[in-house]
Amino acid sequence: MMPVRALVIVPTYNERENLPVLIEALLRHADVRVLVVDDQSPDGTGAIADSLAERHPGRVEVMHRTGVRGLGRSYIDGIAHGIHQPVDVICQMDADLSHDPRHLPALIAAAADADVVIGSRYIPGGAIQNWPRRRRLLSHLANIYIRLITRLNARDCTSGYRCWRREALAAMPLDGFISDGYSFLVEMLFVASGQGARIAEVPITFVERRQGESKLSRAVLLESALTPWRLVARGRASTEGR
């Protein structure tokens, strides 16, 4: 069987302690390349990423974004670059070591029969480490809420650990996306599902970050609460327009 070539896109904002550890672990897997998308992190993550790219030529690439910062925007830029690379699958994961690289082969393998594979905390075998009860509850309720409104079937619609077949990503109209923060992840699934993408899940153990700071703010939570409604409203408008 031909090896599956993977590109892993890692958005970073202030992840200087975490990024080197993540990249070394990722590169232990053959046929894996990494694209770091840094948003001018004030802590110097961008320079650290550059030195990692120098140490691993051909396997690590860095995109330094300027202008408006954002997780969704970073993914859009990273994906626009990634879909033109000679790879079979494109993965997304957080830089803060919450997403263990040891799960990557399972995600990539499952993409043989799916267009997108979610690293899932909420299917049998999935788990979360070091989250307080409050945060667990919030995430759990968020997923119920999203599933109810959007009719998505996946158990973990908010996981940022995913593996896409390159063609499935290339088919996404990313320019028309309406969300930018964490709900960008929900929007990606919603749009993919609307395009008939096959969505699969494999269990992961999510580990809360030890280094660096969380960027989860009130504004992010509000956007997350509104996005599912905006997505279905847009979906209805586009079917009525036909």
Ligand X SMILES: Nc1nc2c(ncn2[C@@H]2O[C@H](COP(=O)(O)OP(=O)(O)OP(=O)(O)O)[C@@H](O)[C@H]2O)c(=O)[nH]1
Q: Name the residue whose CB lies closest to ligand X.
A: 214
Please name every residue paired with 66 in a beta bridge, in sequence order, or none if there are none.
none
216 binds, among Mg ion, ligand X, none (CB under 5 to 8 A by kind): ligand X
Q: In whole angstroms, how close is the CB of 15 to ligand X at the nearest point?
A: 5
Interacting stretch for Mg ion, rule CB under 5 A, among 93-101, 107-115, 136-144, 196-204? Answer: 93-101
Q: Rounded CA gap, 236 and 234, in Å? A: 5
CA gap 202, 185 in Å, rounded: 17
Q: Within its chain, how far is the Cα of 37 from the centroid?
A: 12
- Of 3 and 67, which CB lies nearer to ligand X in the complex structure? 67
Binding site for ligand X (CB under 6 A): 11-13, 15, 37-39, 69-71, 74, 94-96, 98, 208-209, 214-216
Residue 215 interacts with which of Mg ion, ligand X, none, CB < 5 to 8 Å by class: ligand X
Q: Which does 192 bind (CB under 5 to 8 A by kind): ligand X, Mg ion, none?
A: none
Residue 156 interacting partner from ligand X, Mg ion, none (CB closer than 5 to 8 Å by kind): none
Q: How far apart are CA 13 and CA 35, in angstroms?
A: 14
Shortest CB 49 distance to Mg ion, Å = 17
Closer to ligand X at the Cβ: 39 or 156? 39
Structure tokens at 210: 């030890």
* H or E, element range at 23: helix 18-27
Q: Is there binding between residue 41 and Mg ion (CB under 5 A)? A: no
Shortest Å, Cβ 56 to Mg ion: 24
Q: How far is the CB of 99 from ligand X (least distance, A)?
A: 9
The span from the CA of 31 to the CA of 10, in Å, is: 16
What distance in Å separates the CA atoms of residue 88 and residue 91, rounded to the nearest whole number?
10
Question: Out of Mg ion, ligand X, none, which partner does residue 77 contact, by CB within 5 to 8 A per kind?
Answer: none
| Residue 18 touches Mg ion, criterion: CB under 5 A | no
Least distance CB 138 / ligand X (angstroms): 11
Q: Which residue has the tokens 């409104």?
A: 149
3-class SS of residue 213 = coil
Gyration radius of the chain's alpha carbons: 17
CA neighbours within 13 Å on the CB side: how many for 37?
Answer: 23
Q: Please give the residue ranges that form the binding site for Mg ion (CB under 5 A).
A: 94, 96, 98, 209
